[in-house]
Structure 1
Amino acid sequence: MAKSKNILITGASTGIGYDLAKVFVGNGYTVFGSVRKQKDADRLLEDLGESFRPLLFDVTDHEAIDQAAAQLEKEIGDQGLAGLINNAGIALGGPFVDLKIDEYRYQFEVNVFGLIKVTQAFLPLLGAKETPSFDPGRIVQISSIAGKHGMPFMSPYSGSKHALEGITESLRKELLFYGIDVILIEPGPIKTPIWEKGASEAVEERFKKSVFYPALQTFQKRFVAKAVKDAWTSERAARIIFNAFEASRPKTRYLIVPGKFKNWTLPRLMPTRTVDKFLGKALGLMK
């Protein structure tokens, strides 16, 4: 069977998705990238050339996803996909008691249910069928360290990524049946527009009357702003993810964390209550 050089990347318009598309195109792949707006499709075509093929769909639009999968089946059904990179996502935040249930629902619609729908729709093109004419592909799930370590005021995002981690653990084992590998990527802070679109919006006008507003402001200034300042570029993250995808025997998980010992290893070595108290005191949450 032939090895495909086609790959699908969701959320390709900016950030890690864009830089992943750039890296894969530069290494001889044809990249099918999902974007939500025609103007983004046009921009990426101009930037990346004919090896980039835009797919117009939002991951919350299940009908559009099915249409894109049918379109791709007609176009590359005999070649298949070498990989699916589930990158599309948003980050919502705010005090748990002040957030609306619909905000949690939307967070999960994008980061969890959208990802599930995309994966199910394109699995046949990755080799999940009786007699594929191509080698099995790989699935790369872009999670976050937030899926393991939940920070205050980030419960919607952390919850969605924790769900993704559990789903991925099960999916990887199930897809042994087809020879399709599933790789989990756990980035720490990366310089991408997600901070502007979601997490940074936690301090909004609507939270000024919240009892948590002072702590929320401190969190933004002491933790979020510093994390963004020290974050790696999305280009660097994309290169690491590409190398993981290309590895002959990839690990099941890849951690992409600046200052790994301080920001990941040390907090996980410390007792959980100690970490909670440290954060509580730093943010003024301790009574």
Structure 2
Amino acid sequence: MVSSDNLATWLLEVMLSHPALTCALLLVALVAIRWYIRDSYKVEGFGQKHVLITGCDSGFGNLLAKQLDRKGLHVLAACFTEKGAADLAAAASPRLKTVLLNVTDGQSIGRAVEFVSKEVGERGLWGLVNNAGTSIPVGPNEWMQLEDFKKVLDVNLMGVIDVTLHFLPLLKKARGRVVNVASVFGRLSIAGGGYCLSKYGVEAFSDSLRVDMGHFGVKVCIIEPGFFKTGLTRLDLIEADLERLWTRLPQDVKDSYGHTYFDEYLKAQEFSMNLLASPDLSKVTRCMEHALTAQFPRTRYSAGWDAKFFWIPLSYLPSFVCDFIPNVLLPAPKGNRNV
């Protein structure tokens, strides 16, 4: 074993013999410590701040609403269903208020604005978390019709834009925060349908909004989760919708994929979800909470180990490398190999 005295002597010799390297390492260490300290600063007055969260029936939104409620913030939880609202209210403190909201319905958004305006008063709205979303239908683009794309885009992108525009006056009044839930698939498009399109759009909208609102003291943050076990990744719902898409395809299109393709595609989906999807939703909600409560929130948060160490780094690599991943995960059509 190496004694502590010998180790200290060795380290001192290395530092003295490589002064440039030592200075560089010390500088990196100081920057990292400074960043960590700055990142830990919190805003004050949680009890005076209101936060509106969409999509609180389940998943990230539901967990975040409870999490912020325990921290003492005034949570305004927007739910899609009355049951979701009732269940959440029963699990939280009386401070948490629920409101029904359909992000694709302008009248529903207008009623939510009236409700929130009465709750926040002259303080304004400190935080808006655009969390509501859908992933279905998802699958090969050729299996889709235009309405399938619109169904996802209306919720995940147009809904985010519409809700944000309605609440900007209240956010500007509080010099608050907009937290938009994108995805690692706002960086990489490895599946057809509207989901990746919508998340790319959320990234672009958030970036332009951040520049616009910076003049008014409103900060805009983007959450980029990897795979998590939520309603968006429920295999039974995804597989049922894929069967719907496959069943309505013309026979010549089915033949071009091969008679075994559909079953192989379902198996690939099941394998990917079971391998990658994490049950720990708090990895995402901790990022959301930091974006809302940190004095210096980050522009982007990658949530989940797969996002940090696989999907996000992959997005910076050449396209032929990115294309390799879906080719590995998904089956190849076997019908018309000569086409």
Matched-pair contact (CA < 8 Å) for 2:127–2:179: yes
Matched-pair contact (CA < 8 Å) for 1:11–1:34: yes
Structure 1 stretch 114-123 or stretch 240-249: which is displaced more?
Answer: 240-249
Per-residue deviation at 1:266?
Answer: 5.1
Measure the CA separation in 2 of the matches of 1:147 and 1:113.
Answer: 15
When normalised by structure 2's length, the TM-score is 0.75
Structure 1 stretch 88-97 or stretch 260-269: which is displaced more?
Answer: 260-269
Shift in alpha-carbon separation, 1:178–1:275, aligned structure 2, 3 A: closer
Query: 2:66 — aligned with what?
Result: 22
Per-residue deviation at 1:121?
Answer: 1.1
Measure the CA separation in 1 of the matches of 2:53 and 2:312.
Answer: 30
Matched-pair contact (CA < 8 Å) for 1:91–1:198: no
Equivalent in 86, 96, 113 of residue 158 of structure 2? 113
* CA deviation map 1:81-107 (0-9, x unaligned): 110000000002022111111110111
Per-residue deviation at 1:201?
Answer: 4.3
Measure the CA separation in 1 of the matches of 2:196 and 2:238.
Answer: 11
Query: 2:18 — aligned with what?
Result: none
Measure the CA separation in 2 of the matches of 1:74 and 1:271.
Answer: 51
Instruction: Letter of the 1:6 partner, please give it.
Output: H
Q: CA RMSD in A?
A: 2.3
- Mapped pair 1:139 → 2:184: no
Per-residue deviation at 1:43?
Answer: 1.1
Measure the CA separation in 1 of the matches of 2:315 and 2:63.
Answer: 30
Matched-pair contact (CA < 8 Å) for 1:20–1:242: yes
Per-residue deviation at 1:13?
Answer: 1.1
Matched-pair contact (CA < 8 Å) for 1:257–1:264: no
- Mapped pair 1:86 → 2:130: yes
For structure 2, the residue ranges without an aligned partner over 5 or more in a row are: 1-43
Instruction: Letter of the 2:182 partner, please give it.
Output: S
Shift in alpha-carbon separation, 1:248–1:101, aligned structure 2, 3 A: same
- Mapped pair 1:224 → 2:273: yes
Figure out how many residues of one structure are paired with residues of the other and give that number. Answer: 277
Query: 1:284 — aligned with what?
Result: 331
For structure 1, the residue ranges without an aligned partner over 5 or more in a row are: none
Equivalent in 31, 51, 55 of residue 7 of structure 1? 51
Instruction: Letter of the 2:202 partner, please give it.
Output: L
Large movers: runs of 4+ above 4 Å: 197-202
Per-residue deviation at 1:264?
Answer: 2.2
Query: 1:213 — aligned with what?
Result: 262
Measure the CA separation in 2 of the matches of 1:180 and 1:262.
Answer: 30
Matched-pair contact (CA < 8 Å) for 2:179–2:291: no
Shift in alpha-carbon separation, 1:161–1:200, aligned structure 2, 3 A: farther
Query: 2:290 — aligned with what?
Result: 243
Between structure 1 and structure 2, the one with the greater Rg is 2
Query: 1:124 — aligned with what?
Result: 169
Q: Secondary structure at the match of 1:51?
A: coil
Per-residue deviation at 1:45?
Answer: 1.0
Greater RCO, 1 or 2 (C-alpha within 8 Å, sep 6+) = 1
Structure 1 stretch 2-11 or stretch 92-101: which is displaced more?
Answer: 2-11
Per-residue deviation at 1:214?
Answer: 4.8
- Mapped pair 1:103 → 2:151: no
The structure carrying a bigger helix percent of its residues is 2
Matched-pair contact (CA < 8 Å) for 2:79–2:99: yes
Equivalent in 185, 194, 203 of residue 242 of structure 2? 203
Measure the CA separation in 2 of the matches of 1:234 and 1:281.
Answer: 27
Equivalent in 194, 213, 227 of residue 189 of structure 1? 227
Matched-pair contact (CA < 8 Å) for 1:83–1:138: yes
Measure the CA separation in 2 of the matches of 1:36 and 1:76.
Answer: 21
Instruction: Letter of the 1:207 partner, please give it.
Output: W
When normalised by structure 1's length, the TM-score is 0.88
Percent identity between matched residues is 28
Per-residue deviation at 1:278?
Answer: 4.7
* CA deviation map 1:117-151 (0-9, x unaligned): 11111111112xxxx4xx41100001100111111
Query: 1:64 — aligned with what?
Result: 108
